[in-house]
Amino acid sequence: MKSIQLIVIASVIAIASACKDNSESVSIIPEPDSISIGKDCFKVAGAPSIVGENIPASAVEAIKDFSNHLQTVTGKPIRKNAPAFSYKLDEKLAPEAYTIEISKKGAIISAADLNGFLYAIQSLKQMLPTAVYGNTASKENWILPAVRIQDGPRFAYRGLMLDSSRHFIPAEEVYKIIDLMLVHKMNRLHWHLTDDQGWRIESKKYPRLTEIGAWRNGTEIQRRKVADGIRYGGFYTQDQLRAIVKYAAARGITIVPEIDIPGHTTAAVASYPELGCSGKQVEVRQLWGISEDVLCPGKESTFEFLEGILTELMDIFPSEYIHIGGDECPKQSWENCPRCQARIRQLGLRDKDGFSAEHYLQNYVTARVQKILNDHGRKIIGWDEILEGELAKGATVMSWRGTKGGIEAIGKGFDVIMSPNTYCYINYFQTKERDKEPRRNGRYLPVEQVYGYEPSDGIPENGMEHILGVQCNLWGEFLPNTTHLEYQLLPRMSAFSEVAWCRKDNKDYGRFLTSLEHMTGIYKALDFVYCRYLWGYVGLPGHELPARSKEELDTLDYHKVPYMEY
Ligand code: ACM
Ligand code: ZN
């Protein structure tokens, strides 16, 4: 009893003195470019919002939402003549940049565009009690510290990739992650929507893609090369996709959809067998890994299909960039296909510079798809395999097999997005205690290593101008449910947000870990699970796993163990 009283008294003192020493009340992730902290504070309960002239309508919406939300969480209606939030358009500021100046007289917030205002609001929210992320009135010390912040991103493209093919991610979870991306000032959701194990986009023109391609008759258990025999699948309707695109846009996030071609297309070939070289009926793939059932570029009808499906895709997703995959395309079926070989002869392709004629056939596919998209004013992004052989101008390369693809692409004058697996594949294990972690891809990538990624390392002088940005990737083979997904995502996405946002000399892992304490309060308020190994706990809360030997793990009956071990 005594100690509880003491804690209460201590926290009252902390609140009473909060206006005097603000240094502990500011922990923003990603760390702002520059921040100076004063002694006063601004009492925000009842504060009106004054919206300056010419602020874009989308930003005015966001400002109004924030103002209404503050009334809800503080439980106080707006009072006229109280210290106010003043929002001003400042076109001299860079895209997505903002400034905040807080005194006891209120807050002045300036930005040049929607994202600038959105990010200013995110920084304000991170300086308020975490109850600001709730939806009910809460008795808190609703003050903002007197600070001056000048902030803006290092990179224009700050991405997260989600894989809805290997395991379907429910739409509600996608909305939740979009909200989390906004908290972290990330602005591109690269959405991997098709692969061998499932096609997830409704097509009006090709309905079998979801009647057949969205469902598989089993899922590989762990990495054991056997499937569980349970039918699994799902897809997003076009209406659902359009609604998600709109929701993301209001939060400053562009969705970059990916249709992976010409490899990773077994779900499409299972739906329309004529898309493959043999024309044989195949099944939507149940095992992980790489499939040899790829698109046949020997047939003109394959390109008609691609034009049809990409036209539908562009109608749903307004993104300037469309991701066309291009990774891990085995060439065996092309080597054995008379039509592909005829195409190779017709194009005069041959083995050259260490690449086979079939590699150049993949270049031909890339170039034709690029033309379809360019004709509609769009641009392509592809995984770094698209560089092998010859790549047409105007493509952007996503470097995933380490940094070498990105470095080579820059050398050839291409724009790149850096996403090296060694730092950015947040589906890898995050602790060394694998027997206690959910099963997943085998490599080890702790938070500190994600945080330590420096995108300029190894990049030649003047090369940085070709780096549009960076992206972390969450592949879904071992994410059968949203609990696993969130466990893998956090806290590594928080670390990654500083790679994407902060100047090189503004990063500090020790400071980041301190700020992460406050961020975990935000995770909880937004109802996210996160990996707590930095706090001495491995595994999922409430799902302690028994320690198991490798032999046991290899021989477990996975139908009988808790879902955490799936
Ligand atoms: C990839 O990880 N296959 C891009
Ligand atoms: Zn073929």
Q: How confident is the model at residue 434 (pLDDT cuts 50, 70, 90)?
A: confident
Pocket test of ligand 1: the residue of 323, 327, 386 to mutate, having most ligand atoms within 8 Å of its CB, is 327
pLDDT at 13 over 80: no
The pLDDT confidence band at residue 221, using thresholds 50, 70 and 90, is: confident
Determine if ligand 1 sits within 6 Å of the CB of residue 66.
no
Bridging pattern class, strands 467-474 and 321-323? unpaired
Residue 400 CB–ligand 1 contact under 6 Å = yes
Cα–Cα distance for residue pair 175/180, rounded to 1 Å? 9
Q: In ligand 1, which atom is closest to the CA atom of 264? A: 3
| Interatomic CA distance for residues 71 and 52, integer angstroms | 20
Mean pLDDT within 85-90: 98
Measured in Å, residue 135 CA sits from the centre of ligand 1 at 39
Assess whether the C-beta atom of 328 lies below 6 angstroms from ligand 1: yes
pLDDT surpasses 60 at 470: yes
Q: Which atom of ligand 1 is nearest the CA belonging to 473?
A: 2
The type of residue at 261 is: I
Q: 390 is written with which tokens? A: 């010859």
Question: Distance from the CA of 204 to the center of ligand 2, in angstroms?
Answer: 26
Which of 383, 440, 443, 471 to probe ligand 1 with, by most ligand atoms within 8 A of CB?
383
Distance 72 CA to ligand 1 centre (A): 44
Say if residue 14's pLDDT is above 90: no
Residue range 323-344: mean pLDDT, rounded: 98
**Ligand closest to CA 420:** 1
More confident residue, 470 or 442: 470
The pTM score is: 0.93
pLDDT in tens, 96-150: 999 999 999 999 999 999 999 999 999 999 999 999 999 999 999 999 999 999 9
The proportion of the chain whose per-residue pLDDT surpasses 70, expressed as a percent, equals 90
Rg of the chain in Å (alpha carbons)? 25
Average pLDDT over residues 375-395: 97
- What is the model's pLDDT at position 564? 44
Atom of ligand 1 nearest to the CA of 400: 4
CA of residue 388 to ligand 1 center, whole Å: 15
State the Cα–Cα distance between residues 281 and 432, nearest whole angstrom: 42
> Whose atoms come closest to the Cα of 341: which ligand?
2
Percentage with pLDDT > 90 across the chain: 83
Q: Specify the ligand 1 atom closest to the Cα of 383.
A: 4
Mean pLDDT value of segment 503-513:
96
Q: Which residues are catalytic?
A: 195, 264, 328
The whole-number pLDDT of residue 219 equals 93
Q: By the 8 A CB rule, do 166 and 108 touch? A: no
Q: pLDDT band at residue 550, thresholds of 50, 70 and 90?
A: low
* Residue in 290, 386, 388, 400 to alter for ligand 1 test, most ligand atoms within 8 A of Cβ: 400
Of the two residues 535 and 15, the one the predictor is more confident about is 535
pLDDT value, residue 225 = 84
Residue-level pLDDT at 378: 98
Task: Decide if pLDDT at 229 tops 70.
Answer: yes
The dihedral built from the CA positions of residue 166, 172, 175 and 177, taken in this order, carries a sign that is negative
Q: Which residue has the higher pLDDT, 542 or 191?
A: 191
Q: What is the mean pLDDT of residues 280-303?
A: 97
Q: How confident is residue 537, by pLDDT bands cut at 50, 70 and 90?
A: confident
pLDDT-based confidence at 40, cuts 50/70/90?
A: very high
For ligand 2, the distance from its centroid to the CA atom of residue 334, given in whole angstroms, is: 5
428 lines ligand 1 (CB under 6 A): no
DSSP string across 30-93:
SPPSEEEEEEEEEE-TT--EEE-TT--HHHHHHHHHHHHHHHHHH-----TTS-EEEEEE-TTS
Q: Which of 67-81, 173-187, 454-468, 536-550 is predicted least confidently?
A: 536-550
Ligand 1 contact, 327 CB (< 6 A): yes
Q: Are 158 and 501 in contact (CB under 8 A)?
A: yes
Average pLDDT (462-479) is 96
Pick the ligand that lies closest to the CA of residue 382: 1
Q: What is the pLDDT of residue 16?
A: 42
* Lowest pLDDT segment from 4-13, 65-74, 303-312: 4-13
What is the Å distance from ligand 2's center to 296 Cα? 4
Average pLDDT, the chain: 92
pLDDT value for 329: 98
383 lines ligand 1 (CB under 6 A): yes
* CA 59 – ligand 2 centroid, Å: 50
With a cut of 80, say whether residue 262 has pLDDT above it. yes
- pLDDT for position 514: 95
